[in-house]
Amino acid sequence: MKQMDHIFYELGIDVLLTPAVPIKVPYLTEAVLQSQSGESDVVKTDALMRYMSLSNFAGLPSLVLPVNYTQDDYNDDSLPVGIQIYGYYWNEHILFRVASAIEQEFYKGTKKFPAHRVVYKGL
């Protein structure tokens, strides 16, 4: 906690930006979709959650937003790529302002992320 106090309070940092996940998000497989319990893969889960654990353990507010796709243009094989924004305690309003500025800059009305999209491969 002292490290977070130092970063945000003493150094005056408003937000920290990290990738949302450090690896390309895996596609859902037919086996996972047919399963009653989903998939249990500790190695994959550890990799996917690596950057998310900071906010969980330190109790910091954070949010994730998509900023691009895994390929240059959206197509059936593209997956969203996101960034995570961390803030200091009780400063959620700063996270939303930064996220709004990022959305306005990245999207400029040209990129639309499909709502409720599930991506499968090889089904």
Q: Which two tokens stand for residue 119?
A: 């991506």
Q: What is the pLDDT of residue 118?
A: 53
Identify which of 116, 113, 123, 120 has the alpha carbon closest to the alpha carbon of residue 26. 120
The token pair that represents 123 in the structure block:
């089904």
How far is it, in rounded angstroms, from Cα 118 to Cα 116? 7
Q: What are phi and psi of 63, to 5 degrees?
A: -145, 155
Q: What is the pLDDT of residue 113?
A: 56
d(CA 82, CA 76): 18
Q: Which residues of the chain have pLDDT under 50?
A: 116, 122-123
Residue 123: its pLDDT value, please?
A: 44
Distance CA 123, CA 117 (A): 16
Q: Look up the pTM and report it.
A: 0.67
Pair type for strands 62-69 and 80-86: antiparallel
Give the pLDDT of residue 5. 76
DSSP letter, residue 107: H
Cβ atoms of residues 14 and 98 within 8 Å: yes
